[in-house]
Amino acid sequence: MAESLPTSKRVRIADLATIEFGDSPRVDVMGVVVAADNSRPASFVVDDGSGLILVRRFDNQDAPSVGIPLCVIGRLRDSGERYIACEVAKAIAPAWIEVRRLELSKQPAANISKKSIAAPIPESDAGDEQKVDLLVLIRKLDTGSGALIDDIITEAGAGAEQQLRTMMSRGDIYELSPGCIKILE
């Protein structure tokens, strides 16, 4: 008879800062990949709107692409920084992230620490004015299913493509489908 895995606790990423480490708890988070690194072990950063968490894969598989919405299940670890040792990383429809947010908002809020619990994502203050302009443009062009990158670059002009990449790596926006982006709100 196959041994069953212990159940995982559905949590917001911000709540991971308050979890105790009695038996290295198994957690279940949903969010969008905002950074990825395929060096071994592969790792990626997931954002659910409440915070960021580093996820490490020890199964010799590559990290998922930036912009992919995922359900991640694994053991919460702390070796100077908190991260999830990935057991399952499954692509999901973006709507499931909103369903999870609503599901967890009905539970009492945990005492959330303001401390970042993920690897830092490099940020630059340069281009903040263009970032605001691009966010306004993306909102204008988004008909509900995202804004086409080609339309954004055409209307925004020079430098927009690089700024979009920077915004994606910081988690301001994500690629909903190939060539189509949404603002992460």
All residues at 6 or more sequence positions from 50 whose CB lies less than 8 Å from its CB, including other chains = 12, 13, 14, 15, 112
- Output the furthest CA–CA distance in the chain (Å, rounded): 61
pLDDT, tens digit only, all 185 positions of the chain: 445 555 788 899 988 888 776 666 889 999 999 999 988 889 999 999 888 999 999 888 889 999 999 999 999 988 888 899 999 999 999 888 888 888 888 654 444 333 333 333 334 444 455 566 788 888 888 887 888 888 888 888 878 888 888 887 777 788 777 788 888 76
pTM above 0.75, yes or no: no
Going from N- to C-terminal start, the domains of the chain cover: 9-105, 128-183
Domain 9-105 has CATH 3.30.300.30: no
Nearest Cα residue to 134 out of 77, 82, 182, 178: 182
Report the C-alpha gap between 110 and 179 in whole angstroms: 37
State phi, psi for 136 to the nearest 5 degrees.
-65, -45
Residues 6+ positions from 24 with CB-CB distance below 8 Å: 75, 76, 77
Q: What is the DSSP letter of 156?
A: H
Half-sphere exposure in the Cβ direction for 40 (13 Å, CA) = 4
What's the burial of 169, exposed, middle or buried (CB within 10 Å: 0-12/13-18/19+)?
middle
Say how far apart CA 174 and CA 97 lie, in whole Å: 13
